[in-house]
Amino acid sequence: MTTTEPGVLVLAATPIGRVEDASARLAAELASADLVAAEDTRRLRRLCGELGVTPTGRVVSYFEGNESARTPSLVEALLEGERVLLVTDAGMPSVSDPGFRLVAAAVVHDITVTSVPGPSAVLSALAVSGLPVDRFCFEGFLPRKQGERARRLAELVKELRTMVFFEAPHRTEATLAAMAEAFGGGRQGAVCRELTKTHEEVRRGTLSELTAWAGDGVRGEVTLVVSGAEPVAEVGDDPEEWRRLVAELTEDGLRSKDAIAEVARRAGVPKREVYDAVHKDR
């Protein structure tokens, strides 16, 4: 009795902008895979044409709408010994893109999972942001609804690591404004737009400055990088200390409103109490 050895699931990174960034391994995998699962088969055909590659295996779609339904058939192909290549529109599959369900299912069935490394908007944005990169976290897309977004940002107020987010261009201004409200307008950030493409732009500044800049409209793929919170000593409940800290922060360039919010956050008291202390006897 013979048994078939399971195949291999290959997650391949595709260019986030310039096709020249595609690796030789990506081209080889596209040409030789038994089955190619693509987020958009039309984009796949265009990529293959630009690379001069003709897939010899079957090509199927694998996107958010059919991910759950199609995963079992891909696992079946893997169990039958096929080499399955997974590609998304840009970057690495499963990172804010389809792929996690298939990887998890492959792991359950003890199927080998490997990757073809390549372009990454997360790492590219970090590298050019000018912000600390020794420790960072990736937060993906924030919730679209205002209340849910505010709650998520509130959870990140004390995050010390540099944070990376994806955002749609038409929501960039609102998201930056929400970040300024949650983290303080003086927090440093970078808006990385159209990375690696012809019109690549990296705009750096405080969250307040970036919010004002985004008011004119933002186009293209957007990755946001925001510095982590500064480690701070606990602030006591002495109103005089609050007044002193607010004065120091405003001297450093923060608006009075943002400085009051920051001190209130550190002290763990309502902003109104700090406001009253600052404006006492004025």
Flag whether 233 is in a domain.
Answer: no
pLDDT of 233 over the 70 cut: no
pLDDT of 231 over the 80 cut: no
- Which residues have C-beta within 8 Å of that of residue 120, sequence separation ≥ 6? 13, 16, 91, 92, 95
Query: In sequence order, what DSSP letters do the residues of 226-261 get, joined into one string?
Result: EPPPPP-PPP-S-HHHHHHHHHHHHHTT--HHHHHH
Flag whether 2 is in a domain.
Answer: no
The whole-angstrom separation of Cα 12 and Cα 29 is: 8
Query: Confidence class of residue 1 from pLDDT cuts 50, 70 and 90?
Result: very low
Instruction: Write out pLDDT tens, residues 240-271.
Output: 888 888 888 888 778 888 888 888 878 878 88
State the residue range of the domain holding 262: 239-278
Do the bridges between strand 58-61 and strand 83-87 make them parallel or antiparallel, or are there none, so unpaired?
A: unpaired
pLDDT of residue 169: 96
Residues 115 and 24 in one domain: yes
Could you tell me the CATH number of the domain that includes residue 106? 3.40.1010.10
- Domain's final residue, options 199, 226, 253: 226
DSSP SS3 for 199: coil
The whole-angstrom separation of Cα 21 and Cα 121 is: 12
Residues 177 and 260 in one domain: no
Please give the mean pLDDT across all residues of the chain.
Answer: 93
Predicted TM-score of the model (pTM): 0.79
The whole-angstrom separation of Cα 50 and Cα 19 is: 7
pLDDT of 44 over the 70 cut: yes
Instruction: Write out pLDDT tens, residues 65-115.
Output: 999 999 999 999 999 999 999 999 999 999 888 999 999 999 999 999 999
Residue 271: closest CA among 280, 254, 252, 258:
258
Number of independent structural domains in the chain: 3
Among the residue ranges 74-78, 188-192, 227-231, the one predicted with the least confidence is 227-231
**Cα-flanking dihedrals φ and ψ of residue 40, to 5°?**
-140, 110
